[in-house]
Amino acid sequence: MTEDFIRVLARVQSDYGFFIGCQTNPAVALRDFALNSDEYETLVDPQKLRAMLDDGALENKPKRLIITFKGRHDWINKTKPKTSTTNRDAVEHQAQVSHEIEAIRQARTPEERAAAAVRLLTVIE
């Protein structure tokens, strides 16, 4: 297996336009690569190419992929920790939410409605 063939296989897997070029106009797509006849035939025949890729033509082809997340990832879950609230705080919060909902209902213009919606979102957060 030549180095150019390995480069072409890597590119076929990452560049869909190049792959289509290998199928529709292989003489142009592969002109910059020194390939033997077997390698060329493999690249222009979708069945042979699939078999080559499935068989693991590349020596560094991973057998399996494991993704591990460690540490703190605030970008994944931005929920705020729940804090203990008193009954009075909960009642006050509900009153603010109700007030902003009513402001949205009574808004006369889109600007008033948008401002009330933003205030409601702020209260809910």
Each residue's pLDDT expressed in tens, for the chain with a length of 125 residues:
788 888 888 888 888 888 888 888 989 999 999 999 888 888 888 888 888 777 665 555 555 656 565 655 555 555 566 666 677 788 888 888 899 889 888 989 988 888 888 888 888 87
Whole-structure pTM value: 0.42
Look-up: residue for tokens 């929920």? 79
Count each helix (H run) and each strand (E run) in the chain, helices first: 7, 0
Which alpha helices (DSSP H) does 15-55 contain, by range? 16-24, 26-29, 37-44, 46-54
Q: Are 2 and 39 in contact (CB under 8 A)?
A: yes
